[in-house]
Structure 1
């Protein structure tokens, strides 16, 4: 296993860690979803930006950047003393692995400051083949406790982006037990669900949030007991009041959400936080007041401090508050063609941008105001409280009662994309440090340079003259070689040794300098290109080839919720059962007659969220189980792996919450100690076929029946119970369960691939998980599923999720 018994375990005493190098202030990290937003962040004072490429970005709808754009942005940022992090924070399909290799190779070659990742395929390929890349864990990895952070440390990450469900006290607790850099969001949109664990958008139409294509169904209106509400729509995080507390808790990077947002938003928000961060303690209160005025112009939702203050935040999700962004202006009272009329709650000006949001769950329609009327009179602006009419280019689109939001103002960031590109093209590469040794022997000037890992030497024949005065000196050489002309070098150390009392004509020295730096630059480019090619080819060669899947007998695992149902192990059709791992279940379980000695056929499923003392309680439960002869455990979070420090002979399985969408991810789980993986529940037939054709050496199990937890959240919904469904405008029904401090939204339509068992087996999958934990095997519905399992066919009224429709 990856975790040898000589590692320090998390329940051993922890000495004070060596903290990251002290900062005079935390890093202010800005989003950049467009070139305009990038320059807005730079001008507003961001210390770093995070930006996505056109592929592998969790904000696929943002404009994002080409590799060429990113290289120029990096040069510009480095010239300003700033950093650029690239988000490769989506799940990667099997056929996309070669493209991922090319991307990692290019990012390493350009010297990107860090890569933010979710899929362990990125981690494994970078660690094995592109070691110069610095790795940051995405918040999509759901790292929410000290065990998860220390696991990232073991894996070589340099920074953890923590889950947004943590309090300041919980963050400080993590900081006290790790030396890793910690990053946390301070502003912007919040997900109702733990990041990385939402299947809502994907379940509705294959548009996966974990692939950067979230359709945001959580922002829509739903009905519960005849009461309409935005039950799953969160307000926007705003931690402007908590910056000193976040710094004291150990956060070294303060992250602003918003790669889908405008340059205007970026400018306003970054400026506000820069103002608050830079204020002296005595002026901080006034700076925060002014900063909040800036934030009012960012057109976000209502602000909340989220979970940071501690306890359950009552203002994080308010069903009566519309889920749309922007400043609510009012409701449409008249529609004439494409012209809408309404009483505005805020000032309006030609050039403002509006979005009209229908009462249904359909997307809103946005347009820029080009004409404005107060009554019949055309005006350029109106004050709040005025009845106003605004023509739009959309005929027969809007209805009376639609909500109107202002999403941008006429004071927007004005630098155009063309101007941004011109500015970007002027960015010069940041000079590289060169250490130089110069010696003169037998009429030859010998130059030895070191740039990074490259050593370069060249000898030049020179004409010398005896010096009557001002002989060749170190100072003379430093003056000459400090200038590098068109080549991006910066002279560092210069060593000369003892120089003879001679003179070399200045014109000759300058010519030598020009030639030497040109030769050095060409050699450096050639060597780096060669290294890049070697690493890229090695990575491509290491990708697993397709082969003919082996055929094996089917094995079935039943997911149960009650330990009293383990008698199903006596059914010859059932190979294993899976039980939720809780202390009560551990204490309740008794292996009766006929079940003794079957401990190795019981898998204990660990809850994927372990907060507070839950991790330690789970560790205790595992000790008890291991002492009783149990050895199979299913893991759903990186923080679960350290639970097994010090144990030998155990069999670890990964659940579908630990993403296995490609063979490199499966190889990563194997290296971390897993002996069996669960295939990703969002996956489709085509990718499963590609994945299962690769021999990873790890058995893969497919979940073929379950109730999909579309959302798992730490946010309670006080007005909703499980007794009645929550209904969408489309008539889809959902169940909300709230227990153990978590809220789970699930579709009332179960997921089933029982009718696809022959197909899955032909693809190379032979292990199947039938999860009846929500039904119970002895309920009428549970009995129906077991009957179909034995006789074949499909359970009526179920969904195949993305298997047929495809995963985008």
Structure 2
């Protein structure tokens, strides 16, 4: 990790946002200075492997945070299939009722559901939306978002441009693990193992070893951990609203230490900075990188280590028998954990069960060793050969564990309860009890009457107090007593305690039922299906190179991705093809420095030109165009997403190649001609701003699967040798009602002969090798 820069404390401080994968991590974050935490429920969280929260636990967390004037944001940052829409609505209703500070979403269909049904919920755009330019942020503002979590790959200048001009709060990551791919654009785990990163079940394929040619294995995609510590002054100056720590899979100890580090940094407290950095490394530490915040030549990939290494404490000075001798920069306690890079690839770990000062007699043992001392650690019997000069790390510190203690709230104390007002009208003939509360601007009211006769109260003031005490005992209900009022001219009467308690229970039960019914006002819009024209099959072929497709026989539409460095090829296609046969596609990644050139190119073409967008930023650049298709990265896994895209000018939707046949069977009848089904492509498994370590073009994993790395502008794209193909399922797809099909040749194709052969075989339903992705297995 890098050390801190000098902060300008005269500027308002941004929010410090910490991860809460479990309730314990949340308590730790709030205890050590987080202004807000983000947490997921057991469904619809992009960290399905985290502990996550039950509704009861989230309720208490939000109640506790509110008592501290802090916020809790709920993560709903996954893609949602059609069959899950009702469950999504129920979850949003729960989030509303729990008074969350905001909802973090990836699926634009979910943004629509929230806007239509729960407008009081603040929408935060997940980093899974891959917003990397000002145009993308503006598009989200127009869609009702209050905050956008920017892509991690941005440079400081880009963050500044977006933050100062988008009209939204911007949130940026400042610490934690990095993905090799732009978030939301990785299909590696999904295509290879059926575990979708967009559904919270990433298998971390980028952390696995690969081979290049006949070389030893390495980790070409394994990223270092992100640390923006030295860039805090610049981020504050840029106008960022929230600084986010990654780590919902991390321990409460890690969350406590990292949160405290950045809290003290924001407050200008640099005392013991190096010690706190070292502490964090002992809890969980990979080598760190500032990624692209500056123009550093630092390589953000670590091809050697993929996991926890620890804090560097020294290098091996000598090995004398079973004793390893080094000069340690860190104090140690007995049973602390150590790691040694014994062979350069797999660190050897052991516990400091026997240790002494190097100057001590060999028989002497110590429970603690001071910092800045020459020490001797006894190696275990299975220790490998240790070379002189290799680094030694402390990978577990009992002192650090003891340093970051925190208390947890007592269960039930911070459960949130809504106030209910009680009105009492007493007479000798009856006692009328009325419960009322405001529900989203509508007054909900229930009355319960106790029949008399009743005798006058001998001590009226005690009668009133008895009624108050009764309604303060609302127990395990969702309610607390608000205002207690009595009708004018009402004479206090004596009501037996048992009768009053029973009346209270019935009144509150009846009120809760009416309240819940009044809150279920949400709805799901239906999409009116469009009939396929004369049941004809339509083929579109997408490519990045016009020359690859010399023969367009049988193709209804050529989709050509725009490459501004090769406009001659684009102009050739525009001249050669009639307007109805050519669709120009904007790339999924358009960095800020290129947006002006893309806008000028778009404006230079006639209005009847057809377009395709693959990102919300590209969609914003195409605003006002009449015929736009959404490529698969603008995910359409439910009809609500389709409606959202329709509102923004989109007429057709290319389905995601990671979706399954069950979901398509639900969508195709709804979307009709607007549905475009991908039947062939070398799917971009990862799209990255970072070159893989070694800059290799071909790699093989341990399952002997082959991959290649292609360049698309500034991006590095990982594709598999075996293409995604649904050719053998063509009849099934037609039976589902599909009539528009997409052949994507953007990657994995080298010659026009290859391209022509693939298109000919597919159109004529001839066999073609490939894998079917998740088509026959449920998308996880």
Q: What CA distance in whole angstroms lies between the structure 2 residues aligned with 1:593 and 1:187?
A: 46
Q: 520, 525, 538: which one pairs with 1:533?
A: 520
1:227-255 per-position Cα deviation (integer Å, ceiling 9, x unaligned): 54322111111122222321221111111
Q: What CA distance in whole angstroms lies between the structure 2 residues aligned with 1:415 and 1:304?
A: 26
Which segment drifts farther, 483-492 or 118-127?
A: 483-492
Q: Report the Cα offset of residue 549 of structure 1.
A: 10
Structure 2 unaligned spans of 5+: 1-9, 314-321, 357-361, 425-431, 450-463, 496-500
Q: 230, 233, 243: which one pairs with 1:241?
A: 230
Query: 1:271 is paired with a residue of what secondary structure?
Result: helix
Q: What CA distance in whole angstroms lies between the structure 2 residues aligned with 1:372 and 1:545?
A: 74
Matched residue, 2:690: 715
Q: 702, 705, 708: which one pairs with 1:735?
A: 708
Q: What CA distance in whole angstroms lies between the structure 2 residues aligned with 1:361 and 1:545?
A: 57
CA gap of 1:260–1:590, structure 2 versus 1, over 3 A, is closer
Matched residue, 1:562: 545
Matched residue, 2:267: 278
Q: Report the Cα offset of residue 794 of structure 1.
A: 2.6
1:84-107 per-position Cα deviation (integer Å, ceiling 9, x unaligned): 111111111222222212111211
CA gap of 1:404–1:711, structure 2 versus 1, over 3 A, is farther
Query: 1:661 is paired with a residue of what secondary structure?
Result: coil
CA gap of 1:583–1:594, structure 2 versus 1, over 3 A, is closer
Q: 298, 315, 339: which one pairs with 1:315?
A: 298
Q: What CA distance in whole angstroms lies between the structure 1 residues aligned with 2:573 and 2:241?
A: 54
Q: 124, 132, 140: which one pairs with 2:120?
A: 132
Matched residue, 2:561: 580
Matched residue, 1:756: 729
Structure 1 unaligned spans of 5+: 1-21, 331-339, 393-397, 439-444, 461-476, 509-513
CA gap of 1:165–1:784, structure 2 versus 1, over 3 A, is same
Is 1:774 matched up with 2:747? yes
Q: 19, 29, 32: which one pairs with 1:31?
A: 19
Q: What CA distance in whole angstroms lies between the structure 2 residues aligned with 1:365 and 1:35?
A: 33
Query: 2:671 is paired with a residue of what secondary structure?
Result: coil
Q: 685, 696, 699: which one pairs with 2:671?
A: 696
- Taking the TM superposition and a 5 Å limit, the aligned residue runs for 1:474-513 are 485=472
Matched residue, 1:617: 597
Matched residue, 1:606: 586
Q: What CA distance in whole angstroms lies between the structure 1 residues aligned with 2:139 and 2:70?
A: 29
Is 1:804 matched up with 2:780? no
Q: 675, 691, 702: which one pairs with 2:651?
A: 675
Matched residue, 2:77: 89
Q: Report the Cα offset of residue 760 of structure 1.
A: 1.6
Which segment drifts farther, 519-528 or 736-745?
A: 519-528
Q: 153, 158, 175: which one pairs with 1:187?
A: 175
1:40 and 1:413 in contact (8 A); partners too = no
Q: Report the Cα offset of residue 486 of structure 1.
A: 5.8
Is 1:303 matched up with 2:288? yes
Matched residue, 1:467: none
Matched residue, 1:215: 203
Query: 2:162 is paired with a residue of what secondary structure?
Result: helix
TM-score (norm 1): 0.77
Q: Report the Cα offset of residue 415 of structure 1.
A: 13
Q: What CA distance in whole angstroms lies between the structure 1 residues aligned with 2:365 and 2:436?
A: 71
Matched residue, 1:626: 606
CA gap of 1:530–1:645, structure 2 versus 1, over 3 A, is same
Over the residues paired in the alignment, what is the CA RMSD in angstroms? 5.0
Q: Report the Cα offset of residue 515 of structure 1.
A: 14
Which segment drifts farther, 451-460 or 321-330?
A: 451-460
Q: What CA distance in whole angstroms lies between the structure 2 residues aligned with 1:433 and 1:314?
A: 61
Q: Report the Cα offset of residue 459 of structure 1.
A: 14
Query: 1:715 is paired with a residue of what secondary structure?
Result: coil
CA gap of 1:595–1:239, structure 2 versus 1, over 3 A, is closer
Is 1:642 matched up with 2:629? no
Matched residue, 2:416: 429
Q: Report the Cα offset of residue 298 of structure 1.
A: 3.5
Q: Report the Cα offset of residue 792 of structure 1.
A: 2.3
Q: Report the Cα offset of residue 635 of structure 1.
A: 0.7
Matched residue, 1:10: none
Q: Report the Cα offset of residue 115 of structure 1.
A: 0.9
Q: Report the Cα offset of residue 547 of structure 1.
A: 13
Q: Report the Cα offset of residue 523 of structure 1.
A: 8.7
Query: 1:41 is paired with a residue of what secondary structure?
Result: helix
Q: Report the Cα offset of residue 193 of structure 1.
A: 1.0
Query: 2:606 is paired with a residue of what secondary structure?
Result: helix
TM-score (norm 2): 0.79
